Structure 1
Amino acid sequence: MLPPAPRLPEARVLIVMDRYFVLHAPRQTGKTTTLAALASELTAEGDIAALMFSCEDAKTAGDDVALTEAVLLDTLREAAEGSGWPDELLPPDPWPQAQVGSRFRKALSAWCRRCPRRVVLFLDEIDALQGTSLVSVLSQLRHGHNVRSEGRPFPASVVLCGLRDLRDYKVASGGHPTRFSPASPFNILADSLRLSDFTTDQIAELYDQHTQATGQEFTKDAVDRVFELTQGQPWLVNALADEIITEMRVTGTIGDRQVEDAKERLIRARATHLDSLVARLHDPQVKQVIEPIVAGTSPGTDIAFDHAASYVHDLGLIRGTRDLEIANPIYREALLRVLGDRTERFVRADPHSFVLPDGRFDLPRLLEEFVVFWREHGEVLIQQEGYHEAACQITLMAFLHRLVNGGGHLDHAGPTPAPTVNI
C-alpha cells in the first residue's frame, strides 16, 4: 500500500483550514483505502478525531429521509466503536431525539459538543444517497457548517467522497453549478480534489514492497509496461501483479512478457472491475462520448456533450474531457471486445488459414475476406449494433479478434482503435 499523503497532498491542508470539500475519483482507485489511512494518521496526531464511514448501506432507503438518517447514524456509530478510540472520543449513546430532516445534523452537533477533539468526517460512497435523502443530508451539513461561525459545535471538516464532482453537489444542495457562494460548504472550493492515478515511480514503489517481502523482483521493463497498459489505474496495477503471482504462479523475476500475458488473461476473463465498466456502455451519456471515439468522428460541441464527457471522465472511462481518449489501453481493448462480441459470432473463417508458411499474417487475404464478410453481414450488423456510427469499426475489430484467436493479439495504438496485428 502506498502512503496516503503523496496521493492527496491538498487534503491535509484543507482539513487543517477546517474546510468542507469534495474528493472524487473513479471506482477502484483506492479512495477508501487512502482515506482510512489518512483518518488514522490524523487521529494518531492527537488533536483530531477523524472518522471515515460509508453511506452505501443507505442506498436502499431512497427518498425515505428518516430511514437514511437512521442508517447513516448507525453506520457512523459502528465505525467509531470499531476504531479502538477511548470512550471520550465516541459519539453519545443514544443519539439525541430530533425531527426527521434535522436528526443527522443534531446528532453530529451533540457528538462535537461531547468530544474534546476537533471532529473530521469522511463520508465515503456519498453517491449512494438518492433524491430527497441526498438533498436533506447536504442541507443539514450546509446548515451545520454555517452555524459554526456562531461558535456552535459541528464537525470542523467534512469530506464528501464518491464519483461525483463538485458541480453535482452544488446542484443537489440547491446551489448554482458554476457560481461561488461562501454560504454553502459545497461552494467553498473553486474545484474539488480528484484522487490521481499512480505514477511510474509509485508503481515501482508498490511492487518493491512485494520484492522486499518475498525477494521476487519486477524488472524496470515490467514496471514501464504496466504503466503503459494501465496509465496508473490502481486496480489494474494491482490486478496485473496479482494475476502474475497468484494465478499464473510465476516464481522467478517478472518481466514485460509476463505482464503482457497477464493483460490478455484479465481481458479475456472479464474481471469484475472491467465488467462493471463495460456494463455502462449502453448508458446514453456514456454512448454519447464513447461512440465518436470508437468511430473516429468529431465529438459533440453542445453543453449536453460537455456534461456527458465530465460524467464519463468521472467514471474513469476517458483520460480527459478535452482530448477525448479511452483512459488506458486495457480499458480500450476491453470495451472494443465487448462491443464486438455479437459480431464475432458471425465470423466463420478459420483463423489458422490466415497464417502464411513463414509465420506472417496474410493481410491481403484478410482485407479481401473482410470485404466479403461486410457485404454479406454489414447491413444486419449495423441494425443490431447499438453504436451505429461506429458499426464498421467495431465489426472490423471483431473480425480481427476472431482471427487472432488462433494465436496472437491486437495492439490498439493511439486514441482511435487502429490495430497492429501481432502473431
Structure 2
Amino acid sequence: MSKVFNVTAACMPEQNYMVDIAGRLQEIKALVDTGSYFTINKARQYGKTTTLLALEQYLKADYDVVFLDFQMLGAGEFENENIFALSFGRFFLRVFRRNNASLSDGVKTLYDEMYRIVNEEPTNFRLQRLFEYLSDICGASPRPIVLMIDEVDSVSNNQIFLDFLAQLRAYYIRRASQPAFWSVILAGVYDVKNLKQKFRREDEHKMNSPWNIAADFDIDMSLSKKGIQGMLREYEADHQTGMNEEEMAGLIYDYTSGYPYLVSRLCKLIDENVSKIPQFDSKKAAWTRDGFHQAVRMILAEKNTLFESLNRKLADYPELDEMLQDLLFTGKSIAYDPDNPAMDAAFMFGFICCRNGNAVLSNRIFETRLYNRYLSTAEIQGQKLYKASLKDRNQFLVGGRLNMRRILEKFVEHFDDLYHDRDEAFLEDVGRKYFLLYLRPIINGTGNYYIESQTRSMGRTDLIVDYRGEQFVIEMKVWHGNEYNLRGERQLAGYLDDYHIDQGYMVSFNFNKKKKTGVFEVVVGDKILIEAVV
C-alpha cells in the first residue's frame, strides 16, 4: 500500500508521509524520566495524538504505558462518581492488559481482583477505591507506569472530572510515600492551568489546587523546514517528480510556520488535487512554485475544521476580532498580554503567537484567510472603491503579466475622487484596508498575497503579491514627513535585495493638504521604486 499525506486522523509512519519527530520524542522522554506531571496543550490538529501514539511506542522499552483517550468515554460516563470510576477502571484495565500480555504474579492478582470488582460490584465503587487499586498496581508493577490521557479537556467542565483530577494530583504528590504513576501526561487544547476558562462564572469555586501542579511544557510541536524537507525527500523517493525539495520545504514552512495540519494539507492538495488540474496535469508539474501557489489558493478557498474553529473563536470574542482587524489593517504593533482573555485564548488556540513581545498572526495562511474574511463582507464589497476595481480589472493584465504600476495609478485616481476630503484618522485607520480592497478582486483566483509581518513596525506594512510566478513588493504606509519617507524608500530598496527584485512599489497615504498626488518614479541605488501618493 502506497503512503499518502494525512489530515483526518493521527498519522502512522507505515501509512503516511510524516516529518520525523524523533527529536521531539527524546525531549518529552526527558520529562518522563524525571517523573514529571505535565500537559501537552496545543491547538486543534497540531499533531498531539500523533505525538502521543509515537511516544507510547518510544517509552515501552523502559516503562509500562497506559494510553487512554477520553473521547472514547461518552458523556453518560460522567453522570456520577460511581459510573465514572467504573468506566475509568474498566478502560484502564483493558488498555493495561493489552499492553502487558504477561503480568507478574503480584500485578496479576490485583488485576484480577479489580476486574472482578468493577464488573460484579458496580454500586460500591468510587474514586477513592479506584485510586487505591491503581496505587496498588503501581506498587506491584516491576516497572514504572506512565499514564497518558488524550483529549483530557473534552469533559473538563464536569465536577466528576475535577474530582478525578484532584485525586490524580494528590496521589502523584505523595508518590514518595505511597505508590502512584511515575509520570502523568495530559493532552488537549486547554492547559490544565487554563481549563478553568471552560467554567461558567458561577462555577469559579471549582478553580482550586488541581490547576497548580503541571510542569511547564515548552517543547516546540511545530514542524521545522528541515523536517518538512525530510518528509518530501521520502515522497520524492517514491514518486520521482524532480521537485526542488529544499525550495518546496521553504515555501511550505514560510506559509505555515510549521503548523502540522497546514503542512500536511498543502502537501495533500499538491499531490492529489493540483496534479490533476489541466494546467499542471502531473505530479512533476504540481510540485513546483506555481503548483504550490495553486495549493495555497485552494486551501484559502476551502472550508475545513481549522478555519471553522477560527471563525467560532472570533464570534466568541468580539474584542479579539476587533484587535485582529487593527493588527492587520492599521500596521499597529499590539503588545502581547497573557492576562487579556481574548488574546490568551487566541494564543492557546494557535491563532496568534508572541514575537518580540508583540502579538502576531501565527502564519501567513491564517493571516491571508483573515484578510479575505474582512474584505469579503457585504458592507465592504458594497464600497464604491471595490466596485471600481471590479470594473477596472481587465486593463491590468498585459501579456499574462500584472501591470502593478497601472493598478497604483487607477487606485490613486479612484481614492482621490472618493475620499480626498477625509482626515488623518481616516487614512490611519482604513488606508491600507482600502488598497487591499481594491487589489483583491484584481488578483483573486490567480494570485496570492500576504503581509510580511516581520516588517510591520513603525507604521510600515509590506505587502507581497505572487502572480503567475512573479513577485511584487509593495510598502504601504502613512506619511510622516519627508525624512521618514526617504528612510522608508531606503528600507524598501534594501528589502528588495532579499527578494532579488529590482523594482518595488510604495503606497503613501499623505494627509498633508499641500501634497501632490499621483504616481512617481524614484531611483534608490540600483532599485527603481514606483510610489503612489494619495
Structure 1 and Structure 2 fold alike (TM over 0.5): yes
Aligned partners of 1:26 and 1:314 also within 8 Å: yes
Deviations 1:47-67 (A, max 9, x none): 411122212345745974535
AA partner of residue 337 (structure 1): N
1:143 alignment partner in structure 2: 170
Deviates more, 1:364-373 or 1:17-26: 364-373
Cα distance in 2 for partners of 1:370, 1:68 equals 64
Match of 2:240 among 215, 219, 222: 215
Shift of 1:297: 3.2
Tell me which residue corresponds to 2:449.
Answer: 410
For residues 141-290 of structure 1, the aligned pairs below 5 Å read 141-150=168-177, 152-165=178-191, 167-168=193-194, 174-175=208-209, 185-186=213-214, 189=215, 191-219=216-244, 220-249=246-275, 250-252=282-284, 254-284=287-317, 286-287=320-321, 289-290=323-324
- SS at the partner of 1:282? helix
Q: Deviations over 1:238-282 (max 9, x none)?
A: 111111111122422622222121111111123332332233222
Offset at residue 326 of structure 1 (A): 0.7
Q: Does 1:49 align with 2:75?
A: no
**Structure 1 contact 29–195 (Cα < 8 Å) conserved:** no
Q: Find 2:410's aligned residue among 365, 368, 379.
A: 365
AA at the equivalent of 1:366: F
TM-score, with structure 1 as normaliser: 0.80
- The one-letter code sitting in structure 2 at the alignment partner of 1:7 is R
Specify which of 335, 339, 359 is matched with residue 370 of structure 2. 335
1:101-116 mapped onto 2 (5 Å cutoff): 101-102=127-128, 104-106=130-132, 108-113=134-139, 115-116=141-142
Greater Cα offset, 90-99 or 346-355: 90-99
Question: Would you say the 8 A contact 2:56–2:67 is kept in 1?
Answer: yes
Change in Cα spacing, 1:76 to 1:277, as seen in structure 2 (3 Å) is farther
Residues 281, 287 of structure 1: 8 Å contact kept: yes
> Cα distance 1:217–1:60, how it changes in 2: closer, same or farther (>3 A)?
farther
Give yes or no for contact 1:351–1:404 (8 Å, CA) kept in 2. no
Residue 18 of structure 1, aligned match among 35, 48, 58: 35
Paired residue for 2:508?
none
Going from structure 1 to structure 2, the CA distance change for 1:193 and 1:87 (only over 3 Å counts) comes to farther
Q: Equivalents in 1 of 2:336, 2:353: separation in Å? A: 18
Distance 1:4 1:421, change over 3 A: closer
Letter in 2 for 1:49: D
Shift of 1:16: 1.5
Question: Aligned AA for 1:252?
Answer: K
Task: Name the CA distance, whole Å, in 2 between partners of 1:11 and 1:297.
Answer: 37
Shift of 1:6: 0.6
**Alpha-carbon deviations, 1:377-407, whole Å to 9, x = none?**
x9xxx9xxxxxx9777556534432232264
CA contact (8 A) 1:352 1:406 kept: no
Separation in 2, partners of 1:231, 1:301: 19
Q: Which amino acid aligns with 1:174?
A: N
Unaligned runs of 5+ in 2: 1-17, 198-205, 276-281, 468-534
Q: Which amino acid aligns with 1:364?
A: E
How far did 1:328 drift? 0.9
| Aligned residue pairs, count | 398
Please state if 1:352 is matched with 2:393. yes
The 8 Å contact of residues 24 and 193 in structure 1, kept in 2 or not, is answered as no
Provide closer, same or farther for how the CA distance between residues 301 and 313 of structure 1 changes in structure 2, counting only shifts above 3 A.
closer
117-126 vs 87-96, greater mean Cα deviation: 87-96
Q: In 2 relative to 1, CA 11–422 (structure 1 residues): closer, same or farther, beyond 3 Å?
A: closer
The root-mean-square deviation of aligned C-alpha atoms, in Å, is 3.6
Deviations 1:317-367 (A, max 9, x none): 113262221111111111221232214642433363341556414222134
Change (3 A) 1:102 1:86: same
What pairs with 1:56-71 in structure 2 (closer than 5 Å)? 56-58=71-73, 60=75, 64-66=79-81, 67-71=83-87
TM-score with structure 2 length normalisation?
0.65
Residue aligned with 1:279, SS: helix
Counterpart Cα distance in 2 of 1:374 and 1:108: 72
Does residue 344 of structure 2 align to residue 310 of structure 1? yes
Percent identity over paired residues: 19
Partners of 1:192 and 1:311 lie apart in 2 by 17
> Aligned equivalents of 1:174 and 1:316: distance in 2?
26
The structure whose residues are more often strand, as a share, is 2
Deviation per CA, 1:81-115: give whole Å up to 9, x if none. 6x554052896524656554436534533543564
Output the CA distance in 2 between the equivalents of 1:328 and 1:87.
48
The one-letter code sitting in structure 1 at the alignment partner of 2:165 is: L
Cα distance between partner residues in 1 of 2:448 and 2:264: 22
Partner of 1:386: none
8 Å contact from structure 2 (residues 452, 462) kept in 1: yes
Match of 2:115 in 1: 93
Work out the CA distance in 2 between the residues paired with 1:366 and 1:422.
Answer: 19
Aligned to 1:419: 463
Indicate the structure whose relative CO is greater, using CA pairs within 8 Å and at least 6 residues apart.
1
User: 360, 365, 389: which is aligned to 1:325?
Assistant: 360
Provide structure 1 residue ranges, at least 5 long, that are not aligned to the other structure. Answer: 178-183, 383-388
Q: Secondary structure at the match of 1:10?
A: helix
Contact 1:289 1:312 in 2 (8 A): no
> Kindly tell me: are residues 4 and 418 of structure 1, through their superposed partners in 2, closer, same or farther at Cα, counting changes over 3 Å?
closer
Q: 1:303 to 1:209 in 2, by over 3 A?
A: closer
Instruction: Measure the CA separation in 2 of the matches of 1:350 and 1:100.
Output: 71
